[in-house]
Chain A
């Protein structure tokens, strides 16, 4: 059965608790600290990782009791779901567990704000991805290209998905999604859906032998996991195509290095080899992008640039130059702005040119 590993880990958790009770000791959980203070950038793997700090959650510490009970309740419910071979969303889980406590008017959970962080606690302490616990996040990503996917009993040909592309499911783990018959030289990870549609309509993936994928804004875990799998299992380079603004740069860094809140799972989600292909401020001069499509930086943008200049993975000459240029010119740029030149400029001239010249940022 799928996710037997997960069931085992959950049962181990239960057994440890039972042992403590049999010893007449108050049970507790030992959980990794999931805050910024316990997060660091690992030079070796070049990803964001979680440190070793642990904290104890006691059953009989009045500040912990509720959370303790919630934690063990979630663990039990997860085992049930996995055994039933169902997949539910984290919202479903919240409702499944919500009830009034015996002899009281209090509820076991008041809102998802209580259950969601505990799910993350369990992921982190058990070393399991949400997907391995049969929890599904809603996904929005789409992908097109010359490859086939075997999802359960269905085989899907991603070159025949039409104008919509294939919707990335929430669980793209190898034991759920098999990638076969891949024929591509690289992966293009595009920030926005509208731009992805441009590339899909123009059959860019066919003409340039690649795979195009988008997370429709900030990508969910599934899209990042899939990109990582394509990179690690098939050695495909990943090129990031984002707006030339702090938000675009940030999304790029999440794909490349991982996110702080999910630092415990970044090993499976981050793709350190990702390169930034565009859009950059330097492109303005290279491609003579006219000033009428420029946008001014907001105060938040300026603050973001300042923060990013300090990120370890942006501390190289090229990125520092790029960030400074954005600050000095006080300008940001959306990908759609390239339509100013002509509609197909981005797919027929800009991107092919960039690939040919290997004009990327690390």
Chain B
């Protein structure tokens, strides 16, 4: 049995390095830093609750001590953590149970919370206060980081005689700021609530205003299944790096154990393609850059089966709909989940979109004008920054919204929600706020949006027409008072008697216009139907789902179909 436990904790890199490269933790800019801190703590809390099968209830409080000096409190109702793990998880960088595992990850790579503790320590010199309620015991402690050794410093540990289960973190930060902006902690939490309908969040802002986001479902999302990297998605560097951590004796065994979709036939074909130049049965230590490169090249030429897709758990149409209705209260809403597919030949991903129109959709500015809003999510985590660099933004903006009766996209009360779920989100940089331009991903998003757009357009045009009709009627009525008054002077006929007649004439006229309109609309509908047929054809040719190869192994085929 060669199944290796790929979930070993890997520790490397120094706290010093991150002290000097703060931006790698997403801590650049005062506003962005504070939002990132909230994200790290809250994401961890949600993960911990989910893993323990608990419906998350998170409380967040931000207190302003003085300009650019804030205190952050986050409390969850999770299982807490055993003390050893807690110290390591918060007081040591680049440690986390998720590193090296290709699991659909909500958050970062485990640098998150401890990065924040480091930031707190650097800017205030103070440790982070923690209350850990785990397995019946409630313990208070203060956690800092030994920067040279990259180890936790735990002080003031004491047991507390209070019943509490979960984790409460309290930390002070300087060089941060909280403003009323679309990238602040409030917006982050609002979006978390939209993408995670099973989570309940309470937020007390620095002005002491309380925001509550109720959960809209009691279903905890299933745990995504851990998978190994698909063999086709590996590049030369990864092949070499991972080889270092493998315990296999030979290269062929290393490949077989570490990567997904590697069967005996595949290895046979691979060896054939490589020929006499490279022998896969060579010792693992003999693998160098040149050889690795040649192996990778050869791998691309060999057919493989598409990967499992139960490694992705989307939000689901039903839940997303409920949470959007709860928070945005739209007039018109359409939610759509595409089927899972892959990019770069091997990484599974799935796109969910929602178009929310009217109600609280869109963003209201200070001068009361309304602008459209794009909410980007990667594995249910809101991406608030680097909007311009993100492939999701690009996909949304490449749609011709006029086609769906959204005349002026920038200024309409519309929120576009896109959630990209994948075991491996291709970010543009270590900031992890923007998705890289992968064509398959962009295409999937576009197709989803086009379908949703079409569904919504009928509602919108109906609403628009209705709105225009009402406006017209009101205008006619306004002026009919003027006409009645003038006629009374000119003819002696009383205003009171004239007004109802004028009203009737107005209604008659509007009805007539409706009739004319509906014959016009019928013609337009016929035109649209023809157009849709053309779009569907386009979709068929664009869809790049890898076809199941002629694998004669029936069992595998059946498994995949499920």
Contact = CB atoms under 8 A, between A and B. Distances in A.
Nearest to A106: B478
B489 A76 contact: yes
B487 A72 contact: yes
A66 B479 contact: yes
A69 B487 contact: no
B534 interface: no
B472 A59 contact: no
A348 interface: no
B487 A76 contact: yes
Q: How large is the interface on B (under 10, 10 to 19, 20 to 34, 35 or more residues)?
A: 20 to 34
Contacts of B509: 26, 60
A68 B483 contact: yes
A226 to B, nearest CB: 32
A335 interface: no
B505 A60 contact: yes
B489 A80 contact: yes
B505 A101 contact: no
A21 B498 contact: yes
A18 B490 CA distance: 10
Given A14-B487, A26-B505, A60-B509, A65 B475 contact: yes
B501 A72 contact: no
A153 interface: no
B541 interface: no
Interface in B446-504: 472, 474-479, 481-483, 485-491, 493, 498, 501-502, 504
Interface in A77-112: 77, 79-80, 101-104, 106, 108
A18 B491 contact: yes
Interface string B504-519: 1110110000000000
A76 B481 contact: no
Given A11-B490, A24-B508, 15 more contacts: A15-B491, A17-B490, A21-B498, A26-B505, A26-B509, A59-B479, A62-B472, A72-B486, A73-B485, A75-B486, A76-B489, A79-B489, A101-B479, A101-B481, A102-B478
Interface residues of A, number: 34
Given A14-B487, A73-B482, A76-B489, A21 B502 contact: yes
B501 A24 contact: yes
A147 interface: no
Contacts of A108: 482
* B contact face: mostly helix, strand, loop, or mixed: helix
Contacts of B481: 101-102
A17 B478 contact: no
B512 to A, nearest CB: 10
Contact of A79 (B479, B483, B490, B498): B490
Contact of A103 (B478, B490, B501): B478
Contacts of A25: 505
B501 A22 contact: yes
B476 A14 contact: no
Nearest to B504: A24
Nearest to B490: A14
**Residue of A10, A24, A59, A103 with most chain B CB atoms under a 10 A cut-off:** A59
B509 to A, nearest CB: 5
Contacts of A76: 485-490
Nearest to A80: B489
**Residue of B481, B502, B505 with most chain A CB atoms under a 10 A cut-off:** B505
A79 B486 CA distance: 10
8 contacts: A14-B486, A14-B487, A21-B498, A60-B476, A69-B483, A70-B482, A72-B490, A76-B490
Interface in A1-45: 10-11, 13-15, 17-18, 21-22, 24-27
Which 6 pairs, one residue from A and one from B, show the smallest C-beta to C-beta distance? Answer: A14-B490, A76-B486, A76-B489, A69-B482, A69-B479, A72-B486
A13 B478 CA distance: 22
Contacts of B486: 14, 69, 72-73, 75-77
Nearest to B510: A60
B505 A10 contact: no
B501 to A, nearest CB: 5
B498 A68 contact: no
B491 A14 contact: yes
**Residue of B490, B501, B508 with most chain A CB atoms under a 10 A cut-off:** B490
B100 to A, nearest CB: 65
A217 to B, nearest CB: 37
Nearest to B468: A62
A217 B479 CA distance: 41
Contacts of B502: 21
Nearest to A21: B501
Contacts of A102: 478, 481
Contacts of A15: 490-491
Contacts of A24: 501, 504-505, 508
Nearest to A83: B489
Contacts of A22: 501
A18 B493 CA distance: 9
A102 B482 CA distance: 9
A336 B477 CA distance: 60
B479 A68 contact: yes
Contact of A72 (B472, B483, B505): B483
B163 to A, nearest CB: 61
A69 B480 CA distance: 8
Nearest to B502: A21
B482 to A, nearest CB: 4
Contacts of A27: 483
A104 B485 CA distance: 17
Contacts of A60: 476, 505-506, 509
A13 B485 CA distance: 15
**Residue of B489, B502, B509 with most chain A CB atoms under a 10 A cut-off:** B489
Interface in B15-55: none
